[in-house]
Amino acid sequence: MPASVYIRGGRYLIIKKIYANFEEYICIALLAIMSVVVFWQVVCRFILKAALPWSEELSIYIMAWVTFLGASVGVKRGAHIGVEAMITFLPRKIQKYFTLLSYVASAIFFLMLIYFGSLIVQKQIATGQVSPAMRIPIYYAYLSIPVGSALMSLRFFEKIINELKVRNRENANELHVGGN
């Protein structure tokens, strides 16, 4: 095998691995930063008797990012709650259509959230609003909405594609078994 093919394939595998775990890595880093900031705030307030005015604000902004990125992890792992009581009574084939329909509806919802979240971010950029304590542009916090929604949309599109692949394989197997 030529070396260039191996390198390209190796890069592809690295990119695939980063994409597969991107949200987890960012969430871990952000939660670690938030934990250090909150711990340091407690130390400063109760031991050093001096408050850090920016720590609460930073923690809130980090939590917003962790919420949306963590929700994307939940989509990837199938960890979000769902109402399946009614679906379990339906025939197996119809259940699969409802699963696919829920993925499509969720993807559409998050595409809409990207749009409306982007409008909020654009408005914040236009007004030039800054955060009260840290004096950073407030849109950094609001960016979590469209970015997290984009990641969730990608994860739902991934689920839709996988569901369609499974359905195609099952249909091919039924044709193969039926042809014998």
Query: Can you give the pTM of this predicted structure?
Result: 0.83
pLDDT for the residue numbered 102: 92
DSSP assignment of the chain, as one string? --HHHHHHHHHHHHHHHHHHHHHHHHHHHHHHHHHHHHHHHHHHHHTS----TTHHHHHHHHHHHHHHHHHHHHHHHT-S----TTGGGS-HHHHHHHHHHHHHHHHHHHHHHHHHHHHHHHHHHHHT-B-TTT--BTHHHHTHHHHHHHHHHHHHHHHHHHHHHHHHHHHHHHHHHHH-
Average pLDDT for runs of 10 along the chain of length 180? 48 78 94 97 94 94 97 92 77 86 96 98 97 96 98 96 87 66
pLDDT for the residue numbered 9: 56
pLDDT for the residue numbered 6: 45
